Amino acid sequence: MIKAIKDFMRKLFSGLFSIKNNFKMGFYGPPNSGKTTLANRICKDWTGDELGKTSKIPHETREIQFKEKVEIEYKGNKLTFKLIDTPGISTKIDYEDFMKFGLNEKDAKKRAKEATRGVIESIRWLDDMDMVVVVLDGTKNPYTQVNITIIGNLVARKIPVLIVANKSDQRNFNVKKIEAAFPQYRVVSLSAKFGKNMEEFYENAFALAKQRRSMKKKRKR
């Protein structure tokens, strides 16, 4: 009986909060695709702060990082987002790869251990997202099982997805490959590093929020 009341109260309050324009936006993708760089760019644009540290060494983000209450304005509308930057998901982590970047064995092993935990944490957080931005490196082959697994799991959870083809400032950038790999999704090409084409990103982030809202309404009916 008490559990039923608790469940009812939880549903009531979550319903009230859903009326607010507050969305949990997760950044997912393989390591070094630019998730933190994009999250930092958004934070800088709207709060003046940065969210996390970036590095050329893969798996720099090894814990979930948040930025609460990031208010974004687009064409006169305002929405508030909680930005959730996640560690890159991969199927292998070899400490010897980190040593190629100059880390000693002890630090490389420590980084590898933390990175494995980070991947598990990222996966566990999938259920908590209102919407997900899958950040892919536009200079690399998008046909990887990790990308397919991430998107497949988001689809199974009915979480709205936006694909970002990052690193459009680089010479071998190829958005067409990503569009061909995921033809059923909207792909926004941008350079998070230089803030190129962020306007189109915000437009699509708002569309995603709208999609999420209408999905929630349908579920309530």
Partner 1 sequence: MKRKIKDLTLQFVPYTEISNLTPYKKIKKLLDMIDENKILIIQGKLEPHEEKDLIEETMRKIGTSKKAKFRGIELASLVPNMKNSNVFDNFKTRVANMLVGERDALTIIGPATIVKEIKRDPSKMQLLLKT
Q: Which residues bind partner 1 (CB under 8 A)?
A: 89-94, 112-113, 116-117, 119-120, 123, 126, 141, 143-146, 148-149, 152-153, 155-156
CB closer to partner 1 out of 74 and 125:
125
The nearest distance, CB 37 to partner 1, in angstroms, is 23
Assess contact for 21 and 131: CB atoms under 8 A.
no
- Nearest Cα neighbor of 39 from 181, 166, 186, 200 is 166
Cβ atoms within 10 A of the Cβ of 131, count? Answer: 21
CB closer to partner 1 out of 47 and 139:
139
CB closer to partner 1 out of 103 and 119:
119
Count how many Cα atoms sit within 13 Å of the Cα of residue 45 in the half-sphere of its side chain.
Answer: 21
Structure tokens at 101: 């970047």
CB closer to partner 1 out of 17 and 145:
145
Q: How far apart are CA 28 and CA 119, in angstroms?
A: 11
